[in-house]
Structure 1
Amino acid sequence: MTGNPDFDLFRISEDHLALREAVRAVAEDKIAPFAADVDENSRYPQEAHDALVQSDFFAPHVAEEYGGVGADALATCIVIEEVARVCASSSLIPAVNKLGSMPVILAANEEIKQTYLRPMAEGRVTFSYGLSEREAGSDTAGMKCRATRDGDDFVLNGQKSWITNAGVSEYYTVLAVTDPEGKRGNNVTAFVVEKSDAGFDFGEKERKLGIKGSPTRELHFDNCRIPASRMIGAEGEGLKIALRTLDHTRVTIGAQAVGIAQGALDHALAYVQERKQFGKHIAEFQGIQFMLADMAMELEAARLMVYSAAAKSERNDADLTFFGAAAKAFASDVAMKVTTDAVQLLGGAGYTRDFPLERMMRDAKITQIYEGTNQVQRLVMARQLLKGLPAAR
């Protein structure tokens, strides 16, 4: 079958393999040594930030015409996966840069793209995404944040919740209702908001179970005036742009989940080959071997699903919505299972902070929740199936 183009999906290119090797070297040398301290002190992983900027892995998805390296969707997933393998908090730097800027890439005019993508591509700013609210999480169309037109400006009032890297990022894609009397879902518009805008502030940092190095805060808007020229796409098209964005970025959360699971499996494998009980290494016990086999099997299935979805993201395939949701849901469920089993394989040691497994288990949990809970992903998949997507093969 070698050389048959029908099988290209299952063969990673030499460039992607070289990229994985390069990212892994950066991650192990410049990110992993700080991961435990980042988690312990709930601090932003500045060492990882700097290393990602220096290596061009900070926002690899940005096209060359805007100062980026133009990495394809699979390459971006590999970057996120390899960073997440050692530190999930740090992997959110490239992941959220893509999430925050994807609406700009998909729908903004050329002036906005040049203004806001280039500084991020050069590593000077980060970009966050403001969609969810306290009472509008899964029900995004129920948002209350308002943007009222006033001449050549819009005035924002309201809040956004659960915003990743809030306070660190200089730029934010923010979704707000521009026509309160308009049809639900068709009355929302997307804007770029800058950290320095008057009337824009942040809530306190959330105290979280995991990903403690990535600050999560509310965005507060109190008569925050921004120019209408910062509108992304057409007025009223914001929610459609937001959902298109998630089709692409759910794939990156799948990649993050795969990376966390791979890191946990790596540590578990090393431990069971070293630990002895009853006179032999515990890796020699069949029960342990069965656990390892299941962990690796499910992890590889998740990786293939994520890579397949990444290929669809790159091509903008019609069934991306299904595959993006499937990759995110499946990979995150696998990550939760693999990290939990990895803790079990280390026994009492796995429950302590002397090993990174308990951190990985805590970090894995959020992948089942953010960018749409896995229950919502199943709704998305079911609706696509009922529409006839993906098509029978």
Structure 2
Amino acid sequence: MDAALDATATQFELNEDQRAIQDMTAAFAAENVAPHALDWDKERYFPNDVIRSTGELGFGGIYINEDVGGSGLGRLDAVLIFEALAAACPGFSSMISIHNMAAWMIDKFGNEDQRQRFLPKMTSFEWMGSYALTEPGAGSDAAALKTKATRSGGNGSDYVLNGAKQFISGAGESDVYVAMVRTGEDGPKGVSTLVIPKDAPGLSFGTAENKMGWHMQPTRQVIFEDCKVPAENLLSGEGDGFKIAMAGLDGGRLNIAACSLGGAQSAFDKALAYAHERKAFGKTIDQFQALQFKLADMETDINASRMLLYAAASKLDRKAHDAGKWSAMAKRFVTDTCFDVANEALQVHGGYGYLHDYGIEKLVRDLRVHQILEGTNEIMRVIIARHLIGK
């Protein structure tokens, strides 16, 4: 059997530790997230304390090295965690994903001083992290970012930043911002990465965006106005920022796909239960073949998504040469397919699916943005095609 197919075929055979991770996460989410998710959504309430409490479970540094307090788990382990959390609330799960992506960049590309300064407090969730790449005029074209960082101070001991980041999850709540800034020429070679504390002089935040979904999670602009950041907070070196950003996104794409998968599974479970209870024309609606076929397709789509996602995560764990392509394929397929599953679950509920109290319309709203962030699904197709034609 081809190695890629073999990896795919074996992914449902999770080991005992991985099943324990699933069970632990699902139990936490069922007790601490699911009962409150609809209220958080309705009130646009950010459950800061609940998110930070997951540090006790190791979720502040899921795939961060253990010497700085991380859990030292793999990417497949992380996917299992985000999937289980998202079954309770995709927005909650995605915020923990974003924090982990930011922490991983420091762990992977930071020097020892940076790792020891930032990561112990991030892995414990004493400090929450956000990732700041997108700008008002630079989304899919990430290399076109304009936020400028200029050396200043004695011997260039500081950077002074001017510009703004757009659509930053956790902005205003997070304590640390891993930001891509321009330190040199136009294009990817002029991009660098700075770790910026919330109390940096000249750092401020816009008003919370009024979004379609992810209501429990604040999204704001991050604004730099002569913002001073120590040069010692530069990750790797000047000009390495685009490489760091793209490396982080491979894992981030798997994480957000896992959030879609968990949300879709929850929507499907609700639809299946509802179809067994709801009666029309003298029998429960799950007795109608048209609906049976719809449920069969939904179940197939969920499991196809799970198999592709687990295989892609396994490739990233093994550092396979085509892991980037598989991450893009998983992100594109899973987020598209799982949104469709959630939308079909709403249809199964009929008019009740449109009501907030049933929880389906929230899942549809929450999953929609997953097709846009961590690289739009159109960009995922570009990445996949480039791998195929060798560009």
**Is the shorter-chain TM-score for this pair beyond 0.5, marking a shared fold?**
yes
Choose the corresponding residue for 1:385, options 367, 383, 388: 388
CA contact (8 A) 1:261 1:338 kept: yes
Closer/same/farther in 2, CA of residues 168 and 132 from structure 1, 3 Å limit = same
| 1:295 partnered with 2:295 | no
Aligned AA (2:179) = V
Q: Deviations over 1:294-336 (max 9, x none)?
A: 0110111111111111112212221111111111111110121
Choose the corresponding residue for 2:318, options 302, 315, 318: 315
Aligned AA (1:79) = I
Aligned AA (2:141) = D
Q: How much has 1:47 moved relative to structure 2?
A: 5.3
Q: Distance in 2 between matches of 1:223 and 1:149?
A: 11
Sequence identity percentage: 36
Equivalent position of 2:72 in the other structure: 70
Q: How much has 1:8 moved relative to structure 2?
A: 4.2
Q: How much has 1:156 moved relative to structure 2?
A: 0.7
CA contact (8 A) 1:77 1:255 kept: yes
Choose the corresponding residue for 1:117, options 112, 116, 119: 119
Equivalent position of 1:226 in the other structure: 229
CA contact (8 A) 2:90 2:263 kept: yes
Q: How much has 1:10 moved relative to structure 2?
A: 4.2
Equivalent position of 1:207 in the other structure: 210
| 1:161 partnered with 2:166 | yes
Choose the corresponding residue for 1:80, options 79, 82, 86: 82
Choose the corresponding residue for 2:253, options 250, 262, 272: 250
Q: Which runs of 5+ in 1 are unaligned?
A: 389-393
Instruction: State how 1:1-393 maps to structure 2 within 5 Å.
Output: 8-46=10-48, 48-150=50-152, 151-179=156-184, 182=185, 184-387=187-390
Q: How much has 1:178 moved relative to structure 2?
A: 0.5
Aligned AA (2:234) = M
Equivalent position of 1:391 in the other structure: none
Partner SS state of residue 33, structure 1: coil
CA contact (8 A) 2:208 2:219 kept: yes
Q: Distance in 1 between matches of 2:207 and 2:147?
A: 19
More divergent stretch after superposition (130-139 vs 63-72):
63-72
CA contact (8 A) 1:57 1:94 kept: yes
CA contact (8 A) 1:58 1:93 kept: no
CA contact (8 A) 2:144 2:186 kept: no
TM-score (normalised: structure 2):
0.95
CA contact (8 A) 1:26 1:51 kept: no
Q: Which runs of 5+ in 2 are unaligned?
A: none
Closer/same/farther in 2, CA of residues 311 and 219 from structure 1, 3 Å limit = same
CA contact (8 A) 2:151 2:159 kept: yes
Aligned AA (2:277) = E
Q: How much has 1:380 moved relative to structure 2?
A: 0.8
Q: Distance in 1 between matches of 2:226 and 2:48?
A: 32
Q: How much has 1:18 moved relative to structure 2?
A: 1.3
Q: How much has 1:373 moved relative to structure 2?
A: 0.7
Q: How much has 1:99 moved relative to structure 2?
A: 1.9
Q: Deviations over 1:98-126 (max 9, x none)?
A: 22223212211111112111101112011
CA contact (8 A) 1:59 1:94 kept: no
Q: CA RMSD in A?
A: 1.5
Q: Distance in 1 between matches of 2:357 and 2:10?
A: 42
Q: How much has 1:23 moved relative to structure 2?
A: 0.7
Q: How much has 1:56 moved relative to structure 2?
A: 2.7
Q: Deviations over 1:71-98 (max 9, x none)?
A: 2111111111111111111102320112
Q: How much has 1:232 moved relative to structure 2?
A: 0.6
CA contact (8 A) 2:64 2:104 kept: no
TM-score (normalised: structure 1):
0.94
Q: Distance in 1 between matches of 2:95 and 2:367?
A: 16
Q: Distance in 2 between matches of 1:51 and 1:189?
A: 32
Aligned AA (1:266) = D
Aligned AA (1:116) = F
Partner SS state of residue 358, structure 2: coil
CA contact (8 A) 1:30 1:47 kept: no
Q: How much has 1:32 moved relative to structure 2?
A: 0.4
The structure whose residues are more often helix, as a share, is 2
Q: Deviations over 1:216-248 (max 9, x none)?
A: 111000111111110011111101111111112
CA contact (8 A) 2:69 2:120 kept: yes
CA contact (8 A) 1:206 1:216 kept: yes
